[in-house]
C-alpha cells in the first residue's frame, strides 16, 4: 500500500513536471513571464522565487500548472477596489511589493486601501493611505514589482510586454504545444531505457534462438538457428504466427517444415500440453531469437513508442465510432489502480506504465477541447487564418466553457473509477 502510494506520487509528479516544464521552457524563450510553476494543487507546502518565477509544491499530487503572464486575471480578484493592502516603496518612490496577505508583514510597509490600479500598461496604483479617505494618493509601480496573494504566494506582476499575447503567434503555438511534446519525448526515452533493461530484444522472426534440452523440439531434431516456415502446411512468417499455430494444437500431431543452411526439412511432433490460466496450450520448448546490440535496443524503444501511440489512437477512435462510455476513461483513481498493478511487476512494470501514461497525457492534451493545449492551438490556428487576434472576451468565454466541461467530466470519471475499483 505504502509503496503504491509513493510510486503513484513519483509517477504523477514526473508526468506533471515534464509536461509543465515544456510550457515553462518555451514561454521563457519567447520572453513570456512565467509567474508561477506549481507541482500539485491546493494549499502550498513549499515555495521559492528565482528569476521572476515562483516555484511551488502544493499539497495534492493531482496535477500542476504554469501561470503565464496574461493568461489569468488573478490580480484583478486579489486587488479589487476597497481591498486593504500594504505597499513597499524603493528609493525612487516606486511600489516594489503589494501585500494582500494577512500571513505576511512587510518591513516598513505602507497601509493602503485600493481605489484603482493599472498593473498592465501604465503601472500605477492609487488609494487611501493610513485610512485617510480625504485624499487619494497615486503611486508608480515598478515593472518588476511583486504581489503577495492572500495565501501568501508571492508573484511578479504581469505588465503588457511580458504577457503571452505580446509574443509572436509561432512562439505562442510552440509554448502551447511544448507540454504534450515533452510527454512524447519522455515516453520515447523511457521505452528506450526499457530496451536496455531487457536481456535481449525479441526479433519476432520465425528463427529459433534457443531450443531447450530434452524438449519436444530437441527430441524432434530442431536446433537453434533453424527457421520454422510452415506448420501443417500453413506459412509462418514471424514468431507470433508460428507460436499461435503451435499453441493452438496441444497434444495434436503437427507437421513442421523448417530451413537449415538453405535446405528445407520436414518433421512431425506433438506439442506438450501446458496449463496457462484457464486454457491448455501447446508448447515444444523453443525460445525466440533475440538481439543484444545497441541499435536494436534503440529500435525497440521506438517501436514500442509507435505501438503504444497507435493503441491509444485506436481507443479514441473506438470511442467516437462505437459510442462514448465513462469506462473508456480513467482519472487519478484509475491511475492509482494501474500503479498498484505496475508496482507488482517491479521497476520495468512501473517504467512501462509511466511511458504509456505519458503518451496518453500528451495525446489527450492535444484534443481540440477548450482549456486543453489542443484547444489553445486551435485558437492559435484560427488567429493565423483570420490574421488578427481573437477577442479576449470571446476567448475567455470559450476557455471557461471548456474548463467547466472538463471539471464536470473529471468528477464523473472519478466517481465512476471509485465504483469500478473500490465499490464492488
Alpha carbon distance 223, 355 (integer Å):
37
The pLDDT of 108-133, averaged and rounded, is: 93
Average predicted confidence (pLDDT) for the chain: 87
Domains of the chain listed by start with CATH number: 74-162 (no CATH), 204-288 (2.30.42.10), 294-421 (no CATH)
User: Residue 382 pLDDT > 70, yes or no?
Assistant: yes
Check residue 367 and give its pLDDT: 86
Q: Which of the pair, 103 or 241, is modelled with greater confidence?
A: 241
Per-residue pLDDT band for 424 (boundaries 50, 70, 90) equals low
Check residue 20 and give its pLDDT: 95
Check residue 174 and give its pLDDT: 96
Check residue 179 and give its pLDDT: 95
Check residue 93 and give its pLDDT: 92
The pLDDT of 161-172, averaged and rounded, is: 93
The pLDDT of 260-266, averaged and rounded, is: 92
Q: What is the value of pTM for the model shown?
A: 0.80
Check residue 314 and give its pLDDT: 79
The pLDDT of 57-74, averaged and rounded, is: 83
Check residue 6 and give its pLDDT: 87
User: Residue 41 pLDDT > 80, yes or no?
Assistant: yes
Check residue 421 and give its pLDDT: 63
- As a whole-number percent, the residues of the chain with pLDDT over 70 amount to 91
Catalytic pick among 20, 36, 94, 149: 20
The pLDDT of 299-314, averaged and rounded, is: 88
**Burial code of 113-146, b = ≥16 C-beta within 10 A, e = fewer?**
bbbebebbeebebbbbbeeeeeeeeebebbeebb
Active site residue 20: yes
Amino acid at each position: 500500500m505504502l509503496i503504491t502510494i509513493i510510486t503513484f506520487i513519483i509517477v504523477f509528479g514526473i508526468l506533471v513536471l515534464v509536461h509543465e516544464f515544456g510550457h515553462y521552457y518555451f514561454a521563457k524563450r519567447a520572453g513570456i513571464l512565467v509567474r508561477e510553476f506549481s507541482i500539485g494543487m491546493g494549499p502550498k507546502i513549499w515555495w521559492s522565487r528565482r528569476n521572476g518565477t515562483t516555484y511551488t509544491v502544493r499539497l495534492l499530487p493531482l496535477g500542476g500548472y504554469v501561470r503565464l503572464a496574461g493568461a489569468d486575471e488573478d490580480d484583478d480578484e486579489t486587488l479589487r477596489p476597497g481591498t486593504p493592502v500594504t505597499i513597499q516603496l524603493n528609493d525612487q518612490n516606486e511600489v516594489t511589493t503589494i501585500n494582500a496577505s494577512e500571513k505576511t508583514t512587510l518591513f516598513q510597509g505602507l497601509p493602503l486601501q485600493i481605489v484603482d490600479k493599472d498593473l498592465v500598461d501604465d503601472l500605477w496604483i492609487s488609494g487611501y493611505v493610513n485610512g485617510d479617505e480625504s485624499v487619494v494618493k497615486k503611486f508608480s509601480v515598478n515593472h518588476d514589482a511583486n504581489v503577495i496573494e492572500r495565501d501568501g504566494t508571492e508573484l511578479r506582476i504581469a505588465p503588457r510586454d511580458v504577457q503571452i499575447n505580446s509574443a509572436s503567434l509561432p512562439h505562442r503555438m510552440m509554448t502551447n504545444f511544448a507540454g504534450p511534446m515533452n510527454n512524447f519525448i519522455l515516453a520515447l526515452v523511457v521505452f528506450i531505457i526499457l530496451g536496455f533493461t531487457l536481456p535481449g530484444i525479441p526479433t519476432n522472426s520465425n528463427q529459433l534462438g534457443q531450443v531447450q534440452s530434452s524438449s519436444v523440439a530437441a527430441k524432434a531434431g530442431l536446433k537453434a538457428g533453424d527457421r520454422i516456415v510452415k506448420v501443417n502446411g500453413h506459412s509462418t512468417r514471424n514468431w507470433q504466427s508460428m507460436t499461435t499455430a503451435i499453441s493452438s494444437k496441444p497434444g495434436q500431431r503437427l507437421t513442421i517444415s523448417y530451413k537449415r543452411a538453405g535446405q528445407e526439412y520436414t518433421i512431425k511432433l506433438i506439442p506438450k500440453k501446458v496449463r496457462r490460466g484457464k486454457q491448455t496450450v501447446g508448447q515444444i520448448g523453443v525460445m525466440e531469437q533475440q538481439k543484444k546490440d545497441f541499435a536494436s535496443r534503440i529500435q525497440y524503444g521506438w517501436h514500442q513508442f509507435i505501438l503504444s501511440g497507435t493503441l491509444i489512437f485506436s481507443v479514441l477512435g473506438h470511442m467516437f465510432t462505437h459510442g462514448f462510455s465513462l469506462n473508456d476513461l480513467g482519472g487519478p483513481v484509475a491511475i492509482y489502480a494501474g500503479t498498484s498493478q505496475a508496482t507488482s511487476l517491479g521497476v520495468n512494470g512501473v517504467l512501462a506504465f509511466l511511458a504509456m501514461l505519458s503518451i496518453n497525457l500528451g495525446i489527450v492534451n492535444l484534443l481540440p477541447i477548450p482549456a486543453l493545449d489542443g484547444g489553445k492551438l486551435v485558437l492559435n490556428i484560427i488567429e493565423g487564418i483570420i490574421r488578427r487576434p481573437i477577442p479576449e472576451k470571446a476567448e475567455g468565454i470559450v476557455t471557461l466553457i471548456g474548463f467547466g466541461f472538463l471539471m464536470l467530466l473529471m468528477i464523473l470519471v472519478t466517481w465512476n473509477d471509485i465504483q469500478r475499483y473500490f465499490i464492488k
